[in-house]
Chains A and B, each alone.
Chain A
């Protein structure tokens, strides 16, 4: 597991990835590698707990767009929770919220995804 991904668990067949630190190209690739491995095993629903990620850049977020695209091919979904306000605003500006979902808590995310 990379330094950026601190924990991976499953809840109700949803893979939940906890991150910590800067979502840049390295962090984004760590997430995409994990998601694609899990997709190869049959998982199609993913949540990212971003409580530990207060700062992002557009390269890291662009990798999330690549993940969304891959998930669309298998009718999969991805969502996020515990977003810092600036991360939520960045996702909104880049349009991620049109193709993926933002939730307040893990419980809400698991129920709503």
Chain B
């Protein structure tokens, strides 16, 4: 039997990421995830959406697919922006930001990787897909 899934299409407008987190909360409860797991998923989703909204320079919608599997929740955040080269994204360190001219932002990928069990990026000139997975630990 095909695994259940939920699909969202978000316009690029302020705070639309919160629609994604509300959906994630409902799915987390359905899957009996712990409060901490649900909060980590929501936080990672916020960062993936913000990246898609802000950094992709996408003019279209951002698509989010939630795939409910037996032992995990898989979330794909898909934009149709200009893409990015992950190898050129530096791991941020606060020591390099405090008291220096460096911009204070740029934490999204780091947070997603810390909060989810696995993260994969596929990106080219026609868009980016971030695939994030949270394993179920009951």
Q: What residues of chain A have their CB less than 8 Å away from a CB belonging to chain B?
A: 22, 24, 55-59, 61-63, 65-66, 68-69, 72, 84-86, 89-90, 93-96, 98-99
Contact = CB atoms under 8 A, between A and B. Distances in A.
B42 interface: yes
Contact of B111 (A68, A93, A99): A93
Nearest to A64: B104
Nearest to B17: A57
Contacts of A93: 107, 110-111, 114-115
A interface SS class: helix
Contact of A85 (B36, B107, B108): B36
Given A22-B18, A65-B94, A57 B105 contact: no
9 contacts: A22-B18, A59-B50, A65-B104, A66-B104, A85-B35, A90-B111, A93-B114, A98-B94, A99-B94
Contacts of A63: 104
B15 A24 contact: yes
Contact of A22 (B15, B39, B95, B114): B15
Given A85-B36, A94-B111, A98-B94, A55 B21 contact: yes
